[in-house]
Homo-oligomer: A and B are copies of this chain.
């Protein structure tokens, strides 16, 4: 623990796969603040506030687990048209904390909405009285521990006093660091696109890095745009793009009780009105949103607990997308495939095993498997040019790409995962100690 911005920026990353960070700058209508509420033994920022001074349209997707955290229950209950603040804490998941955990959120929302209303009166020409229901929460950390209500409440005034209306890359980095748990890297991404002739920004942050097998939204991801898009269209475009991004990753096949991805639209940039999800003016935004989500999702996997390699599994030419997805995740979640890759062993027999156990009928005579450009199995037979040395060489890469061609249809699915290493065991056997 003890991750903070100074430490992070001064440390040389040991992670070969670490991707470059884009410079997220100012996005109109979003304000950020972070503090340490002493939720960790070693102090670090662990409480993050996003504040939308004029409110933001919004849409969320949540975990499909049958047991969900108190903050997700809270968020689902609020039906506000606009959200004024998102408050995220790390260290404690506020899950299985019962009525007490929920009441803590009520108290925090009460205090924060009051303080933010005061801030409105100080800063705005037309101050708005912010309601409790206009605040939503993200929580991440250990399940079943008493929610640190008092520690958080004590820090809300400071959190609000530190709000800055203008952001730069440092404050975005601080926010991304503040929501981390076992992550070793903050996760940020951005894209720009046009709606009509107006330039639109889409920024996002996310956190991983265990308990990650998405079954709708996964992990925490927050997306911000200065476009003006209605709640209804935000919901549709988010759901559509989650399917091939956050829902296409798996670190360890476990699904969190706290997963959420939310998109906020501040509407600060004037552009032609978007009428519906099929509006052609939305095409560029759609693509850019997909890029931001995919970028974040890949960063989550790439920094998955103990990961030494990033793995892309492409399953091609299936009867339908669902078959392709089942086979892809069967490979991506197989401990034997993941340990073989950790050991840089081109043990393609385990990929065959994982294809078989997916439960989809396939014709072996039509099955082809490639590692990157290297053909291993061609139409059911070991490629004549197969050379174990070449395959071993390929496995030394940091990024491993597997292609499985089923050849009985035209539907594909690509998912992303990482290898399974001793480090994963270390991190998770000692998580709370």
Chain A residues near B (Cβ < 8 Å): 63-68, 93, 95-96, 98, 142-145, 210-211, 213, 215, 252-257, 333-336, 339-340, 342-343, 345, 347-350, 352-362, 364, 377, 380-382, 420-422, 424-426, 428-433
Instruction: Collect the chain B residues with CB atoms within 8 Å of residue A339's CB.
Output: 424-425, 428-429
Q: From B343, B350, B431, give the contact of A343 (CB < 8 A).
A: B431
Please give me the residue from chain B that is nearest to A212 by CB atom. B336
A253→B335 contact, CB < 8 A:
yes
A380 to chain B, nearest CB (A): 7
Instruction: Collect the chain B residues with CB atoms within 8 Å of residue A426's CB.
Output: 422
Q: From B66, B350, B358, B362, give the contact of A358 (CB < 8 A).
A: B66
Q: From B95, B213, B336, B356, give the contact of A428 (CB < 8 A).
A: B336
Q: From B93, B357, B421, B430, give the contact of A255 (CB < 8 A).
A: B357
Bound: A366/B74 CA distance, A: 21
A424→B343 contact, CB < 8 A:
no
Q: From B95, B356, B421, give the contact of A66 (CB < 8 A).
A: B356
Bound: A257/B350 CA distance, A: 10
Q: Summarize A's interface: helix, strand, loop or mixed.
A: loop
A65→B357 contact, CB < 8 A:
yes
- From A357, A361, A364, residue with most partner B Cβ within 10 Å: A357
Known: A335-B428, A343-B428. 16 other contacts (CB 8 A): A66-B355, A66-B356, A66-B357, A67-B364, A143-B353, A144-B382, A252-B335, A254-B335, A254-B350, A254-B353, A257-B352, A257-B356, A335-B424, A345-B429, A345-B432, A420-B425
Given known pairs A336-B252, A360-B66, the reply for A95 and B352 (CB within 8 Å) is yes
A311 to chain B, nearest CB (A): 14
A357→B422 contact, CB < 8 A:
no
A359 to chain B, nearest CB (A): 6
A431→B357 contact, CB < 8 A:
no
Given known pairs A345-B430, A347-B431, the reply for A68 and B356 (CB within 8 Å) is yes
A354 to chain B, nearest CB (A): 7
Q: From B63, B143, B342, give the contact of A350 (CB < 8 A).
A: B143
Bound: A58/B340 CA distance, A: 37
Bound: A354/B255 CA distance, A: 8
A362→B67 contact, CB < 8 A:
yes
17 contacts between A and B (CB under 8 A): A65-B357, A66-B357, A66-B361, A66-B362, A67-B353, A93-B349, A96-B377, A143-B352, A254-B354, A256-B353, A257-B352, A339-B424, A340-B431, A342-B425, A343-B428, A345-B431, A345-B432
Bound: A348/B93 CA distance, A: 13
Instruction: Collect the chain B residues with CB atoms within 8 Å of residue A215's CB.
Output: 357
A144→B348 contact, CB < 8 A:
yes
A255→B356 contact, CB < 8 A:
yes
B95→A349 contact, CB < 8 A:
yes
Q: From B93, B144, B343, B364, give the contact of A430 (CB < 8 A).
A: B343
Bound: A375/B346 CA distance, A: 46
Instruction: Collect the chain B residues with CB atoms within 8 Å of residue A96's CB.
Output: 349, 352, 364, 377
Q: From B333, B349, B425, give the contact of A143 (CB < 8 A).
A: B349
Instruction: Collect the chain B residues with CB atoms within 8 Å of residue A66's CB.
Output: 355-362
Bound: A96/B356 CA distance, A: 11
Instruction: Collect the chain B residues with CB atoms within 8 Å of residue A144's CB.
Output: 348-349, 352, 382
A423 to chain B, nearest CB (A): 9
Instruction: Collect the chain B residues with CB atoms within 8 Å of residue A433's CB.
Output: 343, 345
* 10 nearest A-B pairs in the assembled complex, by CB-CB distance: A143-B349, A343-B429, A67-B356, A339-B428, A65-B356, A255-B357, A144-B349, A422-B422, A252-B335, A342-B429
Instruction: Collect the chain B residues with CB atoms within 8 Å of residue A352's CB.
Output: 67, 95-96, 143-144, 257
Please give me the residue from chain B that is nearest to A425 by CB atom. B422
